[in-house]
Amino acid sequence: MPPLLEVEDLRVHFETEDGLVKAVDGISYTVDRGETLGIVGESGSGKSVSSLSVMGLTRARNAHISGSVRFEGRDLLGASEEDLRQVRGNDIAMIFQDPLSSLHPFYKVGKQIVEAIQAHRDVSKAQAYDRAVEMLGLVGIPEPRRRADSYPHEFSGGMRQRAMIAMALANDPKLLIADEPTTALDVTVQAQILDLIETLQSEFDTAVVVITHDLGVVAEMADEIAVMYAGRIVEHGKSDTVFNAPEHPYTWGLLSSIPRMDAPRGDALVPISGRPPSLINLPGGCSFHPRCPYVRDAHRRVDPMLETVEGAPDHRVACLLDSGTRRRLWSELQQGVAPDVARKDVIEEPLS
Amino acid sequence: MAAYIVRRLVWVIFLLFVVTLITFVVFTVLPAVDPALLRAGRQPTPQLIESIREALGLDEPAPIQFINYLGQILPFVGGDGVNFGYSYQSNTEVLPQILDRMPTTLFLTGGAVVLWLAIGIPIGMVSAVRTGSLLDRVLMGGALVAISAPVYFLGLVALYLFDDSIGRFPLLPGSGAYQQATSIFGKAEALIMPWCVLAAAFAAIYARFLRGNLIDTMQEDYIRTARAKGLSERRVTFRHGVRAAITPIVTLLGLDIGLLLGGAILTETVFNIQGIGRYAYDAIVRFDLPVVQGTVLFGAFFIVIMSLIVDILYAFVDPRVRY
């Protein structure tokens, strides 16, 4: 049986007046049934565009899309608009960052869910409405029948995201793409929403792709993590591996910039220096090199491939440092050796 | 809601008072012909002029004249009842004259509104859906021409081309036909050209407005959600996009209707239609202060009332709006 979702060498380039924007530049991943993949990266790393492309929602006239996206073995990139329409909201559903702007302001919540159901199921309005009320109850909205008759602006932020989840899962999709599902919400509500997604995921056996810039979000729910930088995946592995034995300096940066419960008290959070690169003029060689504390001359010329880490078949990383050096640097980092010191040390070392 | 409406109505009364005051001041302060001279006919004697001045109350100081005028437009205040004064020109009561012309202006405005909505809205939608296409460019180019052509130019061109007595292609009844027509159909036929001329610029404005609005709306997050639900592009555009993009048209439409009910001055003048606009035009030309004041007050009344109606209607078309 083919994997549920298989993305291979996906590229999404946009032609703009300023030049070609390589939003997604050759990424591959698979998602199996019931599994959760976390895609992590800064804004502009291409994580949202790649998942919108899976749904066929980036078909702008100026977009060039290549590679392949297969859902249960069916090609989605070449699919007709009508075939894609039948997949959207039925096999693959999506929830977005800002639930207020993602719900139509002029239609009642119940009606919007009914519309999603009737787009794919040949049921009467009353049946669809009952299903909508059932879903609203399932996502934890009190008095669902009464709330179905409310407008989105009458809901709180967390309730709106619950309503979005109810709408997304109403047709029992096999894959849910959650694009920054908690970013626009209060911190107290964020954990509730993540718990809800996890609970429903196990109940419906739905696979989830969760896209976020927040490693805390994926730590809680992802089985696998893909770290994206400048339109590419730079590190990909099991969640535990990426958290405990990361191999890419960018991942190290991400991990050092979030607070950890298991870190010793007094450890400062270290932001990643510099800014994400322009996707029009990517730096030559490794695109992370201008921000990498361990950069060497050769890294400015050679473009690293995503390669399997020695001794860890499920763990892949795109870094030109050799594996031994990376492991040493990571353990030094954990002992508190600052990257600046490490950097001098590495540069003096001959390139292996 | 009720409290809101009451508050707004108080504002309406205040605004109309200010409009009346400003019109009065403008005409009293401006150096102009003595209205008594206009009334007196040819080669009047000074005694005649003096007696007319007295009869019209023009010998009184300006504030007293203003209060006297207020007595003529407010019930229970003045002596003669509500008649908006007498025309200097024809010595007829102004209010009945305006009410007589009301149906004509209403007919002209109503027909034009239907026409420009029927033309402007589909063009706006088609242009937005096909942004950047040849069709879009042709339609928007046409709209630009229609907006740029003033009614007095477009009206004369239309008469030159289609008037059934002087036109190159004598197809339609032209200037003055409305007055001569006796049946409702005859009147409607006489209004075909004025309707088209009046509607042209409005249709263009509405088409451009809706196009811009719809293009912006189609970038909204809820449109992406609608697509992600698996709705057809047609349903996404019309049920979700147009529903949101067309709502502000209510505001535009209300104000435009209010404006035109006060008299479509240019159209009524070019086509010689005896509506409120033509009445106002004649009064301005002849310095007929009571008529000017009456028509200005009527125009202002329709605008403020329509904007109140628009605000109330908005609460029904946009569920987020509450008073």
Determine, for residues B230 and A90 on separate chains, whether the beta-carbon distance falls below 8 Å.
yes
Query: Hey, of B136, B222, B317, which one would you mutate to test binding to chain A, going by the most A CBs within 10 A of its CB?
Result: B222
Chain B within 8 Å of A105 (Cβ-Cβ)? yes
Q: What is the pLDDT of residue B73?
A: 81
Q: List the one residue out of B183, B169, B197 whose CA is nearest residue B270.
A: B197
- B225 to chain A: closest CA residue: A102
Chain A within 8 Å of B79 (Cβ-Cβ)? no
Instruction: Read off the pLDDT of residues B226-271 as tens digits, 9 standing for 90 and up.
Output: 999 999 999 999 999 999 999 999 999 999 999 999 888 999 999 9
Spatial distance between the Cα atoms of B226 and B234, rounded to a whole number of angstroms: 11
In angstroms, what CA-CA distances link A300 with A283, A296, A323? 8, 7, 19
Q: What is the pLDDT of residue B76?
A: 65
Spatial distance between the Cα atoms of A345 and A348, rounded to a whole number of angstroms: 6
Contacts of B320 in chain A (CB under 8 A): 105, 151, 153
Range B97-317 has CATH code 1.10.3720.10:
yes
Across A156-176, average pLDDT: 93
- B243 to chain A: closest CA residue: A106
Phi, psi of A305 (to 5 degrees): -95, 155
Please determine, for residue B141, whether its predicted confidence score (pLDDT) is greater than 50: yes
Average pLDDT, chain A: 88
Across A102-118, average pLDDT: 96
Considering only the beta carbons, identify the residue of A57, A105, A167 that sits closest to B224: A57
Determine, for residues B221 and A96 on separate chains, whether the beta-carbon distance falls below 8 Å.
yes
Q: What is the pLDDT of residue A234?
A: 94
Spatial distance between the Cα atoms of B199 and B114, rounded to a whole number of angstroms: 9
- The 3-state DSSP class for residue B230 equals coil
The number of beta carbons lying within 10 Å of the beta carbon of residue B285 is 10
Q: Any idea which residue has 């709006």 for tokens? A: B321
Instruction: Read off the pLDDT of residues A69-100 as tens digits, 9 standing for 90 and up.
Output: 999 999 999 889 899 999 999 999 999 989 89
pTM for this entry: 0.85
Q: Are B261 and B109 in contact (CB under 8 A)?
A: yes
Spatial distance between the Cα atoms of B246 and B124, rounded to a whole number of angstroms: 10
**So where are chain B's domains?**
14-73, 97-317
User: Quick one: pLDDT band at residue A352, thresholds 50, 70, 90?
Assistant: very low
Q: What is the pLDDT of residue A45?
A: 87
Contacts of A164 in chain B (CB under 8 A): 225
The number of beta carbons lying within 10 Å of the beta carbon of residue A315 is 18
Chain B within 8 Å of A265 (Cβ-Cβ)? no
- Relative to beta strand A207-212, strand A36-40 is parallel
Q: Are B272 and B175 in contact (CB under 8 A)?
A: yes
Q: What is the pLDDT of residue A123?
A: 95
Chain A within 8 Å of B320 (Cβ-Cβ)? yes
Considering only the beta carbons, identify the residue of A89, A151, A153 that sits closest to B229: A89
* A vs B: CB pairs below 8 A: 65
Considering only the beta carbons, identify the residue of B222, B224, B231 that sits closest to A119: B231
Q: A97-125: buried (b, 16+ CB within 10 Å) or exposed (e) per residue?
A: bbbbbbbbbbbbbbbbbbbbbbbbeeeee
The per-residue DSSP string of B118-164 comes to HHHHHHHHHHHHTTTSHHHHHHHHHHHHHHHS-HHHHHHHHHHHHBT
User: Quick one: pLDDT band at residue B194, thresholds 50, 70, 90?
Assistant: very high
Amino acid (one-letter) located at A332: E
Crossing angle between the packed helical segments A125-138 and A109-118, to the nearest 10 degrees: 120
Q: List the one residue out of A241, A207, A205, A244 whose CA is nearest residue A226.
A: A241
Chain A within 8 Å of B220 (Cβ-Cβ)? yes
Spatial distance between the Cα atoms of A210 and A180, rounded to a whole number of angstroms: 7
Q: Are A205 and A190 in contact (CB under 8 A)?
A: no
Q: What is the pLDDT of residue A127?
A: 95
Q: What is the DSSP letter of B236?
A: I
Determine, for residues A104 and B244 on separate chains, whether the beta-carbon distance falls below 8 Å.
yes
Q: With a CB-CB cutoff of 8 Å, which residues 59-98 of chain A face chain B?
A: 81, 85-90, 93-94, 96, 98
Contacts of A53 in chain B (CB under 8 A): none
Spatial distance between the Cα atoms of A53 and A255, rounded to a whole number of angstroms: 28
Please determine, for residue A227, whether its predicted confidence score (pLDDT) is greater than 60: yes
Spatial distance between the Cα atoms of A165 and A193, rounded to a whole number of angstroms: 9
Which residues are CB-neighbours of A211 under 8 A, at least 6 positions away?
A38, A39, A47, A48, A51, A177, A178, A179, A180
Spatial distance between the Cα atoms of B39 and B44, rounded to a whole number of angstroms: 10
Q: Are B132 and B125 in contact (CB under 8 A)?
A: no
Spatial distance between the Cα atoms of A304 and A281, rounded to a whole number of angstroms: 17
Of B44-53, B111-120, B233-242, give the lowest mean pLDDT range.
B44-53
Spatial distance between the Cα atoms of B265 and B27, rounded to a whole number of angstroms: 20
- The 3-state DSSP class for residue A227 equals strand
Which of A38-52, B74-88, B218-232 ranks highest by mean pLDDT? B218-232
- Helices within chain B (DSSP H only): 2-29, 35-40, 46-56, 62-73, 94-129, 134-148, 151-162, 177-180, 184-217, 221-228, 233-235, 243-245, 249-261, 265-270, 276-285, 289-317
Chain A within 8 Å of B224 (Cβ-Cβ)? yes
Q: List the one residue out of A227, A93, A267, A85 whose CA is nearest residue A167.
A: A93
Please determine, for residue A37, whether its predicted confidence score (pLDDT) is greater than 90: yes
Determine, for residues B319 and A106 on separate chains, whether the beta-carbon distance falls below 8 Å.
yes
Instruction: Read off the pLDDT of residues A51-69 as tens digits, 9 standing for 90 and up.
Output: 899 988 886 778 899 999 9
Chain A within 8 Å of B222 (Cβ-Cβ)? yes
A215: its two tokens: 């490693």
More confident residue, A39 or B51: A39
Spatial distance between the Cα atoms of A99 and A48, rounded to a whole number of angstroms: 16
Across A121-140, average pLDDT: 94
Please determine, for residue A218, whether its predicted confidence score (pLDDT) is greater than 90: no
Contacts of B247 in chain A (CB under 8 A): 106
Which of A260-264, A306-310, B134-138 ranks highest by mean pLDDT? B134-138
Phi, psi of B109 (to 5 degrees): -65, -50
Average pLDDT, chain B: 88
Burial of A192 (0-12, 13-18, 19+ CB in 10 A): middle
Q: What angle do CA A77, A78, A83 make, to 5 degrees?
A: 90
Contacts of A176 in chain B (CB under 8 A): none
Q: Are A211 and A226 in contact (CB under 8 A)?
A: no
Considering only the beta carbons, identify the residue of A94, A115, A164 that sits closest to B231: A115
Q: Are B56 and B43 in contact (CB under 8 A)?
A: no
Phi-psi category of residue A56: left, alpha or beta, with phi > 0 → left and psi -120 to 50 → alpha: left
Q: What is the pLDDT of residue A351?
A: 47
Determine, for residues B230 and A86 on separate chains, whether the beta-carbon distance falls below 8 Å.
yes
Determine, for residues B229 and A167 on separate chains, whether the beta-carbon distance falls below 8 Å.
yes
